[in-house]
Structure 1
Amino acid sequence: MINKSQLQVEAINHGTVIDHIPAGQGIKILQLFGLIKNKERITVGLNLPSVALGSKDIIKVENTWLSAEQANQLALFAPDATVNLIEDFEVGEKLQLQLPEQVEGVFSCPNSNCISHNEQVSSKFKVRAVKRQVRFRCNYCEKSFHQDFMTF
């Protein structure tokens, strides 16, 4: 018999838990933070059942703690995610996410005609949330893009 309250992803002793990530965004978050290069153990759950989201992703990284600034960058892909810093299997601190107003040098502009592809300039985007979706507006070509079109 299966226990319905059984954890689907193992608890960690020390580190960071990023939960309530919209399904499909977990891999992007691993790339954005370079967590794959981390030598610590990482547990990733994709498309897990969620009452609030229907399905969600979760990332647990042992012996690694995100800063408040990194947590705010996380909001670019998962504005409603929770970031818990874990000590001795307990939540020591919860980081509150705030969407940054601008992001620079992280993404390439999806518009192939944008001057940022031909000139030696750092990419810049204004960031805003529209109906719980994050949108990026290029500083150079002034086109607006949904988060799914943004690449590193």
Structure 2
Amino acid sequence: MEKKKIKELKVSAIEHGTVIDHIPSNAVFQVIRILKLERFQNMVLFATNLESKKYGTKGIIKVSNKFFAAEELNKIALVAPHASVIEIHDYQVQSKTIVETPDRIKGIVKCFNPNCVTNHEEVAAVFSVIDKENTRLKCHYCEKITTRETMEFR
């Protein structure tokens, strides 16, 4: 019996924009939320649970006609510490970088301490990153430690 060739579907290329690759499959929607891509008017393509030799599965996001500042992209390192960011111009790769966890996080993560002032007042939660490898954040106001497991995004 002859094996049929299975055609692989690929996500279309973008002419100008940003590709975020190597996102953990379970973090794609968090990355979309962190970057506020649900508000973006141009084409946003995403896929999750794609096969990855290095990670088993991965996610990818392509954003047409949008280039991000490093500060914006580094926020996603909280949920996608090994994500790569690729800038595309005229269908060609112009640059490729790996996200880096910033030293300070403001306004995107909620403090898990119910008594923290940030959960009762109109104050943005601010965290110092005390462990980049294991994602441990210390609240500026109540000094409680938030981990990847207790992290909740605004």
Do they superpose with TM above 0.5? yes
Name the TM tier (shorter chain): 0.7 to 0.9
| Count of aligned pairs between the two proteins | 149
Pairing 1:104–2:134 present: no
- Map 1:1-152 → 2, pairs under 5 A: 1-3=5-7, 6=8, 8-129=10-131, 132-148=133-149, 149-152=151-154
Where in structure 1 are there 5+ consecutive unaligned residues?
A: none
**Contact 2:82 2:98 (8 Å CA) reproduced:** no
- Aligned-partner Cα distance in 1 for 2:30–2:66: 18
Change beyond 3 A, Cα 1:16–1:109: same
TM norm structure 2: 0.86
Unaligned runs of at least 5 residues, structure 2: none
Amino acid at match of 1:33: L
CA distance in 1 between partners of 2:85 and 2:111 (Å):
28
Amino acid at match of 1:55: T
Considering only aligned residues, what root-mean-square deviation do their CA atoms show, in Å? 1.8
- In the TM superposition, residue 120 of structure 1 has moved relative to its aligned partner by 4.1
Q: Percent identity?
A: 36
Moved over 6 A (4+): none
TM-score w.r.t. structure 1 length?
A: 0.87
CA offset at residue 147 of structure 1?
2.7
